[in-house]
Every structure is written in C-alpha cells, then in structure tokens.
Structure 1
Amino acid sequence: MGTFGSQTSTYNRLVTIFVAVGSMTYGYCSSIISSTIGQPGWFTYFNLPQEGEPGYASITTPAISTANGVFSAGGAVGTLFIMWSCDYFGRKLNIQLGAFFSMFGGALQGGSNSLKMFQAGRFVCGLGIGILVTVCPMYLSEMSSAFRRGWLVGHHAIFLVFGYMLAGWVGYACYFAENKIGTFGWRFPLCLQCLPPLVLLLGSPWLPRSPRWLISKGKHEEAKLVLERLRRSPDDPNNLVAKEEYFQTAEQIRLEGERLSAYGNVWNAVLKKKSYRKRMAIGFLTQWGAEFGGPLIIIFPTEIRPIGMGFSLFGQFAATLILLQTAPMGFDNVGWKYYLVIICWSAFFIPVIYFFFPETARLTLEEIAQNFGEEVAVHLTDATDEEKARLERDLEKRPDSVPQSNSSKDNETEAV
C-alpha cells in the first residue's frame, strides 16, 4: 500500500533536479555582476574611472548602480508578466521563456561593445530571471508530495546558492587572467551565464506539465498520467496515491472555482477576499524581508497562484532595486552605517513572521487553505484510517472518475 504525502518516484526527483537548473541560472546571473565590476578590464573597456581615480564617484558609481538597477527592473517586469502568462500558457512554457530571455541577455552582456548594450543585456537577463525565479519553485511545489515538498522544493535554494558559489569562483579565477586589462576576464564569466538556461531550454520539451495546471484547464487524462509517473511505487501497484491526489486536487479546484465565481474574476477575488489579501501581504513581505534581511507557492491556491507568486517576487525585485541602486552611494557617503538599514528591517520581520505567518508543513497545497480560514474539499493528510480506507475503496471502484463541474472542459483547446 502506498503512503499518501510521502510517496515520490525517481522520475519526480530527476524532474526536480533538472528544473532546479533554472534556480541555478538565477543564482549565477544575479551575482556574476559583483565579480565583473571587479575586473580591471571591464573598467578599461568602457572607459570608466577605477576606485581612487578622478570621476569614480560621478561616472563609475552611477554606471554600477544602473547595471544593478536595470537587472532588478527587468526582474520586476518579469514577475508582473508571469502573473498573467503562468496561468494562460502554463508553467512549462514560462520556464522556456525565462530560459530564453536569460540566455539572450547573457549573450548581450558577454558580447557588448558599449555600456548601453551591456545595460540592455542586464535588463533582458533580469526579465528572464524574474520569470524563472517565480515559475521554477511554483512548478517544483506543484510536482511534490506533501511530506517531501520541503526537500524537493528545497532544491530551488540549493541550486540557487550553487549558482552564487559558481559565479564567485569563476569571477575569482578570471581575475588572474594573463591580460589584466583584456576582455576575457569579464566577457567569459558573462558568457558562461548562457550555459545553464541553454541546458534548461534544450531539455524542457521532455518536462511534464503541472498536473494542477492541467486539471484547472480541463486536461484530466494528462494530469492523471503525470501524477501516476510522479507517485509511482512498487508498494502501490494500483496507483492509489496518485488517484487520491488527483481527486483531492480536482475537487479543491472545483470548490475554488465556485468561490471565485462569486467575485466575477480572479483580480476581484484578490482585492476583495480577506484570506487572499492576507496571502498577498505575506508573500510580498516574505520576499521584501528576505531581500532586506521558496516558501511562496505553498500559501496560494491554484486560481491565484500565478498572481500571488508574481506579486510576491515583485516585492523581492522592488527591494533589490532600492538596495542595489542606493548601496554604492550609501557606502560612499556613510560607510558601514548603511548596514543599519539591513539590521533594522531584519529585526522588524522577526515578530511579523512569528505572529502572522501560518504553518504549512506536512499539508498538501490544497489543505493549506484551512490555515487561512477556508474550506477544504477533501482532507487526506489528516484523514483517519477509516476515512482513508473508505476513499480508497471508492476510488478503486471508479478509477476514471472526473469531477462533474470540470468534465466539460476536457475538449477545450489548450493555450500553448
């Protein structure tokens, strides 16, 4: 007998590792600029005064701030774009879009022959990163089982930090390039940022589509097949775990659709529904606070997940834009005291998180709604043995059942 919430397959783990390459792309692309602006050849090529030379504060500092700022601005645009595109096109296609823009932006930076071209590349790369950093953890969460979600979605952070580390070591190694004032020392690290998104883009056609997105679009048969591959186990020959998860997800999406119809559309629901506003505030403050000092996808129900994730990550890039645009000037003017901004914000968020953020561990994405005061269509992780046995008997009798309210969507044309 399979174990609901804990069961996962080798296929699920391989998909997780591969999609986390998008997270590594974010880590590398967002941090490689720090070693680039330390390369003497970069200053020389763009005719920028180096530290200690006349004009550094008035010419170079604004150029560095702009390079950081336009990357964050591109990221903010990407997060706003995905609020619409992630539901319309699906998670998989947005992973492909993010990979393409990240790769194209990296190529512009690595091949730039002017500062304007370099800054344009930073913006385009930021656009791709804004998409990837939103959709990759969302996708990972929707592919994970309840009791393994922390470990599987945690690959987002693992690969992200690996990207940071890789950027640091590559930049350090290139600092010792034979020609200090040549272009290899800064062009090679920037060109290397094209490799992870290229790998992601080339392998993405073989990725499965999110079962929750498929169910929301009426693609029930494909959703069942995906869940069976993700939850397959020798201990569960009848795929009961996959059937239970499908049934719970379909019923919850049906229930959420009924609630949503009372508001007219998803944007009205986000603005008018108290529990949704609470989710948006928690998501935004989490990312704002994290940037000033991967949990977002689990607090948002399916119908507002793209909007909530996009809005929350917009908080991250808004905070990044403020910090990176002001940091060079702040350190020039007040030195170490600029760190007090970070300390104060970090202290502020400790009680906010403790008192206002709900626990989400060991619950399915559908069951988390109860921590925001909403109804859950089907309980599984906290169901009694008798309730579980009754549900399993019911599912074995009708393995191909589809919630009635969604069955009419099966023949709809998918928007991809």
Structure 2
Amino acid sequence: MDRQVSNISSGEFKKKHHPKAYTVFICICMSFGSASMGMAASVISTTLGQPSFVKKMGLDGPHGQSIEGAMNSLFYTGGVAGAICHSYVADKFGRKASIAMGSLIVLISQALLCGSVNAAMFIVFRFFSGWGSFQNICGVPLWISEIVPPRNRGMLADIHAIFINIGYTTIGFVGVGFYYYQSKNSWRGPLGITIFPPFVLLCIINWLPESPRHLISKHRHEEAWAIIHRLHSDPSDSTDEFAKREYYQICKQIHFDRTLKTGYWEILKRPSYRKRALISMALAFCIMSDGLITIQNYGVSLYTGLGYTGVDSLLFQAGYTACSLLTSIIAMTYVDRIKRNWLMACGFAGCTVALTIYTALVKNFLGTTNTAGQSAAVAMLFIFVSSFELGLDGPEFFYQAEIWPSHLRAQGMTIFMIVYNAVNICWLQAAPTAFANIGWHYYILFIIFAFMGVVAVLLWFPDTLHKPLEEIAAMFGDDDLVVIYQKDLDNAQIPLKTIEEIIPGMAAAKNVGTESEKDGLHGKVTEAESISV
C-alpha cells in the first residue's frame, strides 16, 4: 500500500502557510458590511452637531434630551433584534445570507433616515438601522474567522475592525464638510452617504465564497473542498497538504458536532458552554461599560462642553475617528503575536488610565478659561480610543468566534451582541441626563468597569492564539468533544491517501478503495479515525 506521508514537522507546517492575496481581497470585500455598520452607528454623532438637524427635530425644545437619548439607544435596541436574527439565519441559510440580509436592512433604513420628516420617523428607522448593522457585525467576523487559516486569523479578522473605523472616519469628515453647506437639509447629506457600503456589498456578495464550515455542516462537501483548496493551498507544495489536512480535521469535527444538540438550553446545561457564555457576556459588558460608545456618540457634545464650539467640535470628532482608524491598522501588525488575554488586558488597562486622567482634567478645568487643561482632556480621549483599538477592537469580535464550537458559534456571537447592545442602551439613554446632572462623576463608573475588564481577562480568559477552531474546546475541558488534533495528524504521519479518501473526487480519481472507504465521513473507521483524544 502506498503510504505517502509528510516530511514537514508540525511547527514548520504552520509557519509555512501565509494568507493568499485572494483571501485578503475577499475579507476586504466582505468588510464593506462592517463599514456600513461604522457609518450607520457614527452618523448620529455628527448629525446631532448639525444646527439644521437640531432645529428640524426639535432638540432645542423642552424634550430635547429625551429625544436625543432615544435616537441613540433605539439603534442598539435594534441591534438586539439583529443579533437574534443572525443566529437563526446564519445557521439555517448560511453566513453570507445573514450578512446580505443585514446589508439590505441597513440600505433601506438609512435611505429612510435620510428622508425623515420628523423625530418619530427618525427614531423608528434608527431601530431598523441598528438591526441590520448588528446583524452585519455578527456575521462578518464570524465569516472571516471560519475561512482564514489559524496562524493569521487575528490579523485578517482585524480587517473587520478597520472597516468599521473607515466608516466612522468617513462620516466624521463628511459631517465637517456638510457643516459648511448652508441649507435646512444639510444634515441629510451624511445620512445619504451611509447607503454606499451596503449597496456595494449587495452587488458583490454573490461572488464571495460561503464559509466552508457551514457548507460541510449542510453536506455540501464538494463546494467546501473547492473553497478550502483555493484559499489554503500552498503554491510551493504540489500535494496541497495543508489544505487537505485542514479539510480532513474540519470534516471530522463537524461530522461529530452534528451529533450534538444545539440551542441556548444546551448552553445552560453544560458547564463548559456556560463558561463560554459568561466570558462572552463579561467581555461585552466590560467593553461597552468603559465609556467607548458614550464618548463616540456624544463626542461633539463633550468637545462643546470643553469650550470647542461649532466646526471645531466636528473637527475633533473627525480627528478622534481618524485616530481610531490609524491605530486599528497598527494593531494588525502584532495581533497574532501576543497572547489574546494579555492583548485585551493591555487594552483595558490603557483605557482605564486614559479615562482616569480625563476625568480628573474635566473635574478641574471644565467651565474654566484654562485652555491647556481642556486641550489635555481632549488628548486623553484620543489616547483612550487608541488604547481601545490597539488592544480590544479586533479581539472583541474574533475572540467570540474562536471560543465557541462550530455548532454553537452563531448562538455564542448572539449572546455577546445581546449583552453588548443591552449595556449600550442603558448608558446611552442615561447619558444626556447624567451629563446634565452629575457631570464628570458619570465617568467614574466607566473607570471602574474598565479596570474590572483587566482583572476578568487575566483571570478567566484562555489564550486562543494560533489554535485551530476545532481544537479550542479542549481549553474549556471538553477534550471529549475534540475529534482530532492537527499535531496528531502530523505526528502520527497519517498517509495522505487516507486523508484524500474523504476529499470529493480525489479518491475516485485515484481509484482507491471501495465506496464505503471513499466516504470518510460515513464509512468504516479508518486508521485516521482511530486517533482519539
């Protein structure tokens, strides 16, 4: 019997593989869904800074603070609905279907926001805009994490975070431009531009591949192998061993996962699933309780309170988002070189320090003529968002995809996003009243929760750096749920012929074995299948 095996060690095998230009390209294309969320979420900040919008929506009246709070919080209320919808659609119809649905909702809702005739209409479609936006940011990082190789998963998933910030930055500078456009409808311009990213994505999504893990779970093995071969084959390796071994591992794991029960009740019943859920909820709570979204959405108001009025406040807001974009790009260069838990802990620590200094400066210099102190406070906000981007913005999304098994990954992301949005609703709805009544004391809560994030991440979050998604269950004590490890494939020197028997078309082409031997997922137990953990 021909026993062609690999002469590559496990370590060399991982180091040898680098992402293809095509893989990077499709991640960029799909991340237009992330940009649509960034634009839809951030446009409210510059819109609230437009005098024409304030007058049109009656925000200068007695109920202005309540209306403003509703415009912000209803977006995240819709986000809860979008996260729940994603869980069902992504598992039933595919990751692409969920992203396409979210993009369509964003496209329609942003068009209607642009054409809003009163505050009630604006608030209603902010809800639907949040629905589509959060369905997108549940789907995009999940899709990226499932198509890219383990060694580069963090770097490529960070493209998602970068495009969110591209959306934020674009809207920031567009808002500055429309400030100079003297018209009672000048506020509609930035809202109209937010239609562009979801429109582009809907035009190209048909040509982007589906997640091969989802395809395998639906018995569409030929399509799955074609995608893995195209994305993960190595031009220097004529045997395509990396792609074959990865396909083999994914198939075996998902074939086993199909025998497991799914749903939120199962998450509650199994201790290791409960631990994952608690990690997801804790990360979402601490990230959204460190003041990020409050500072982002009410940024113009904060700069105005520090004495920077008119176009200056809009320019600071645009600069803030540009700073977040620059630092998120920098984060790509090292995100796959630092342990996940230490990376996130450093991000929380940086946010804690910057926000503590900012709070002290606001306490002492708000409402004074000390421009140096006020400028220092603005600088602290820039350092705050830089710390967040350098340590948290990418990991907050791809870490969720990493810690959950394939049959519960969509539900895990939904749990994260429900808490993410629920916490945002509380902070954003309370913010206008809190700023008016307790002022700088509001930031003390953010400081406390950011510090809690440091402690929680270091004590309870496992490091998933470079781990194949199919092997992470063992880090939560679920050794019995890992069918096969990549190192076992390498060290046991499983013949390539054995692996190729489950690859669609390959066994037939080589005339190897019987029909039952060709069907590696449903046939008799082979030598490779005897490897258990």
Q: What's the TM-score once normalised by structure 1's chain length?
A: 0.89
Q: Which amino acid aligns with 1:404?
A: L
Change (3 A) 1:27 1:92: same
Determine if the alignment matches structure 1 residue 18 to structure 2 residue 29.
Answer: yes
Alignment match of 1:378 (pick from 462, 465, 484): 484
Aligned equivalent of 1:319 = 423
Which letter does structure 2 place at the counterpart of 1:210? S
TM-superposed CA distance for 1:404, in Å, is 2.8
Equivalent-residue separation in structure 2 for 1:113 and 1:92 (angstroms): 34
Distance 1:175 1:226, change over 3 A: same
The answer to whether the aligner puts 1:74 opposite 2:75 as a matched pair is no
Of structures 1 and 2, the larger Rg is shown by: 2
Shift of 1:266: 3.1
Q: Does 1:290 align with 2:273?
A: no
Query: How far does the alpha carbon of each residue in 1:347-377 deviate from its partner, in whole angstroms, 9 at most, with x for none?
Result: 1121111010001001111111111111221
Q: Match of 2:247?
A: 246
Give the residue type in structure 2 aligned to 1:183: N
What are the Cα deviations for residues 306-328 of structure 1, in whole angstroms up to 9, with x where unaligned?
A: 11101111111111111111111
Change (3 A) 1:107 1:384: closer
Distance 2:427 2:219 in 1: 43
* SS of corresponding position for 1:238: coil
TM-score, normalised to structure 2, is: 0.70
Question: Is structure 2 residue 159 aligned with structure 1 residue 148?
Answer: no
Match of 1:362 among 466, 475, 484: 466
Q: Retained in 2: the 8 A contact 1:8–1:233?
A: no
Report the equivalent of 2:204: 203
Letter in 2 for 1:377: V
The aligned counterpart of 2:404 is 300
> What is the number of residues matched between the two proteins?
391
Give 1:123-138 correspondences, 5 Å limit. 123-138=127-142
Alignment of 1:12-411 (within 5 A): 12-49=23-60, 55=61, 58-179=62-183, 182-184=184-186, 186-258=187-259, 260-261=260-261, 265-293=262-290, 294=397, 295-375=399-479, 376-380=482-486, 382-383=487-488, 385-387=490-492, 389-392=493-496, 394-396=498-500, 399-400=503-504, 401-405=518-522
Contact 2:38 2:164 in 1 (8 A): yes
Unaligned runs of 5+ in 2: 1-7, 291-396, 505-517, 525-533
Q: What is the rounded CA distance, in whole Å, between the counterparts of 1:298 and 1:119 in structure 2? A: 35
Give structure 1 stretches of 5+ with no counterpart.
Answer: 50-54, 408-416
Amino acid at match of 1:364: P
Give me the whole-angstrom Cα distance separating, in 2, the residues matched to 1:238 and 1:120: 56
> What percent identity do the matched residue pairs reach?
32
For each residue in 1:84-106, what CA deviation from the matched residue of structure 2 results, as whole angstroms up to 9, or x when unmatched? 22101110111100100111111
**Contact 1:9-1:229 at 8 Å conserved across structures:** no
How far residue 391 of structure 1 moved from its aligned partner, in angstroms, is 4.7
Of 315-324 and 234-243, more deviation after overlay is shown by 234-243
Shift of 1:43: 1.5
Which one is further off, 33-42 or 231-240?
A: 231-240
Whole-angstrom CA distance in 1 between matches of 2:200 and 2:36: 10
Instruction: Check whether the contact 1:254–1:403 (CA below 8 A) recurs between aligned residues.
Output: no
